Amino acid sequence: MDLAKQLAYVKAMDVAKAFPYQLVIGADTIVESDGRIYGKPRDADHAKSILSILFSRPHRVITGLALVRLIPPVELVEADITIIYPRPLDQALLAQYITSGQWQGKAGAYGIQEQGSEPFIEGIDGSFTNVVGLPMELLGRMLDRAGYQSK
């Protein structure tokens, strides 16, 4: 969880330096299983390896979220965690998913919002928008705390 928060904070601070009077939102999503962190896959073989691990047991999607403004100062950094419960892995579906290329550029090699990922997921415990990459419920609460009306 700390890594996702740190990455989100660094992203937000990098932009905030160029826009010191603006509220900047930074986010970063990682996937964790059994203490190991999975980012974006390097290639199709790496994606297949990641998915074979992740969809063999429940895993966590963690999104760090940072709200930063330099002047006047605002600095809020939190994280949201969602547990993914996979279905038994079907190798034919996995091969089809890898061929589709939908794994590219996604932490954990999948996007829950993408067509083709549905057969892999039995259910989730937590925020769906967190798994997509921007936990809207958490963002709303953080905006409220920063003095912005989120509704």
Active-site pick, 2, 14, 28, 43: 28
Instruction: Mark whether 28 is an active-site residue.
Output: yes
Helix spans in 17-81 (H): 44-54
Please state, in angstroms and as integers, the Cα–Cα distance from residue 89 to each residue in 34, 45, 53, 71, 144, following that order.
18, 16, 10, 50, 41
Instruction: Please identify every residue annotated as catalytic.
Output: 28
